[in-house]
Structure 1
């Protein structure tokens, strides 16, 4: 395998970009309050509360801790991509529980 000298010069740039990405990823918050979640997915705070009550599942998409509601950023990302397929996890869970009772 032959490595061209011009490509060796690019290694420093690639390493710098990888380090910048690593810093960005490690510096991002995973847990978001209502205001941050609203900014993150582009909905109003009121709409976030409605989503929480009607579509999101406690213990999966959000958690209540010391009187605060904290949203899991990774779960919100997954919810947004799944919701594009019109799947409502809360309705599915309720229908399963209803069938069990």
Structure 2
């Protein structure tokens, strides 16, 4: 008679191996990340990454569009994460300059 706990343990090991494989793909030296990988890497949802792309990230700095795909630069994302909280990003600076002109 099959023990259901043995079967569960086997499935658990399969799931852990798959998760380890996915994590190794994300944390590797891979520089360019797609939306899903970026969401996993930063710990945000894919919807939030799209919102950040529109509101925070700068095209040709944080991400690039190639053949209809969005590719995020892992190095630029790391710099964005570690930048000082009191530093303004380029969009904030541009908005402040434009407000000063009006």
* Alignment RMSD (CA, Å): 2.1
Whether the 8 Å CA contact 1:55–1:88 is kept in 2: the answer is: no
In structure 1, what is the equivalent of residue 85 of structure 2? 85
Structure 2's unaligned 5+ residue stretches are: 1-27
| Aligned residue in 2 for 1:33 | 34
Q: Matches of 1:39 and 1:59 in 2, distance apart?
A: 21
Query: Following TM superposition, by how much is the alpha carbon of 1:87 offset from its aligned partner in structure 2, in angstroms?
Result: 3.7
* Shift, 1:93, TM fit: 3.3
Q: TM-score if structure 2 supplies the norm length?
A: 0.62
Deviation for aligned residue 1:28: 1.6
Partner residue of 1:65?
66
Give the CA deviation at 1:64: 0.6
TM-score, length basis structure 1: 0.63
In structure 1, list runs of 5 or more residues that go unmatched.
1-26
Q: Give the total of aligned pairs.
A: 73
